[in-house]
Amino acid sequence: MSFFKIRTIALTAAFAGIAGTAAFAQTEVKIGYALAPTSHYGVAAQKWQEIVEAETDGKFAFRHFPSSGLGGEREVVEGLQIGTVEATIVSTGTLSNFVPETGVTDIPFLFRDLGHARRVLDGPIGQDILSKFDDAGLVALAWGEQGFRHITNNRNAIHTPDDVAGMKLRTMENPVHLAAFNALGAAPTPMAWPEVISSLQQGTIDGQENPLSVIVSVKLDEVQEYLTLSGHVYSPAMLLVSRPFWEGLSDEDKAAFEKGATEAVTAMRAFVDDVEQSGVETLKERGMEVNELSADEKAAFRASVEEAYEGYYDQYGQELIDSIAATE
Ligand code: PAF
């Protein structure tokens, strides 16, 4: 209990002729995430809160810090480790810096579609990765998602790997992504998310890559001209809780957080399904020039990152990578 703040909310009940005071203690759950309350992150966080509140009769008071209100994703995860933040929904951008095994899910052109990714992450491979977070002072409750990542930029439309040659593309601080963009011949610039919009505005980077869920939600069309539907990599997310916080919970409370996380993922995936359908039209209406890589164009990108695969095999094992690819 010493790791988290107890907020006492005094409820005063006044009845005719009787002045009575009832008080109950609510445990505050600070939840930090990178995007707006209306994004897939916000929707998931809201659902998580609703379920925990319903299951515990309001014992926990969620306090939301959307839009990187607690800093970049790395700082938020560090906050969980030391117990100053209780929960987060976070991309895998930074997670392989905490649990290296996570990086296998960031390999480009590994997942075929959303269904494939969800089956792998909900199955034994994904669940095994979640269990590795125990040793990092974190409790990983479930895999969420953002969708497939696409490239936006202000330099030119992209059809071939040559079109990204030397392009200053912001990547997440993620060695797996970095290796792929280096292999492609781009000039990848790893950067924490809170710096990205101003860097695009100032022109210190040409572009970035993120799923439609993010591009629509943060209105990247206001600072980016071209959108190439490259779908070069699936972008998982994770629902994490601070271990010091978790250890103070009863079994019933833990079950409520687990149930909330499962339902939050369902809400998050439904949101992503929806924006994958509607997002391109929205961005065209907002003025972006959009092109989608054809199957042949995509194959050329896949071939260009082949050399990065040697490093991925060394790090994660070819057997694991092949078994993800072979998952039906
Ligand atoms: O690009 C990133 O860093 C992530 O996709 C984001 C936007 C912070 C969401 O987790």
Residue 117 CB neighbour total at 10 angstroms: 23
Question: For residue 8, with 0-12 CB atoms within 10 Å meaning exposed, 13-18 middle and 19 or more buried, which class applies?
Answer: exposed
The CB of 210 under 6 Å from ligand 1? The reply is yes
pLDDT value for 283: 98
Residue nearest to atom 10 of ligand 1 (CA): 91
Nearest-atom number in ligand 1 for the CA of 211 is 5
pLDDT value for 23: 56
Q: Which amino acid is at 56?
A: T
pLDDT value for 8: 33
Sign, CA dihedral 158-164-170-171, equals positive
What backbone phi and psi angles, to 5 degrees, belong to 319? -60, -45
Ligand 1: centre distance to CA 1 (Å)? 32
pLDDT value for 10: 33
Instruction: Give the CATH number for residue 117.
Output: 3.40.190.170
Report the chain (328 residues): mean pLDDT per 10 consecutive residues.
38 33 77 98 98 97 98 98 98 96 98 98 98 96 98 98 98 97 97 98 98 98 98 98 98 98 98 98 98 98 96 98 97
* DSSP secondary structure, 248-311, as one string: TS-HHHHHHHHHHHHHHHHHHHHHHHHHHHHHHHHHHHTT-EEEE--HHHHHHHHHHTHHHHHH
Residue nearest to atom 4 of ligand 1 (CA): 91
The CB of 91 under 6 Å from ligand 1? The reply is yes
Q: How far apart are CA 130 and CA 102, in angstroms?
A: 8
Q: How far apart are CA 101 and CA 111, in angstroms?
A: 17
The CB of 93 under 6 Å from ligand 1? The reply is yes
Supply 312's token pair.
């991925």
Ligand 1: centre distance to CA 193 (Å)? 6
Domain that holds residue 27: 3-326
Ligand 1: centre distance to CA 194 (Å)? 9
pLDDT value for 176: 97
Substitution site in 68, 92, 200, 214 for ligand 1 pocket (most atoms within 8 Å of beta carbon)? 214
Ligand 1: centre distance to CA 299 (Å)? 25
Ligand 1: centre distance to CA 146 (Å)? 9
Residue 251 CB neighbour total at 10 angstroms: 7
pLDDT value for 316: 98
The CB of 193 under 6 Å from ligand 1? The reply is yes
The CB of 217 under 6 Å from ligand 1? The reply is no
The CB of 34 under 6 Å from ligand 1? The reply is yes
SS3 25: strand
Q: What distance, in Å, lies between the first and last C-alpha atoms of the chain?
A: 44
The CB of 172 under 6 Å from ligand 1? The reply is yes
Substitution site in 33, 39, 73, 189 for ligand 1 pocket (most atoms within 8 Å of beta carbon)? 73
Ligand 1: centre distance to CA 177 (Å)? 13
**What 8-state DSSP symbol labels residue 35?**
S
Nearest-atom number in ligand 1 for the CA of 209 is 1
Domain count, the chain: 1
Supply 314's token pair.
């060394």
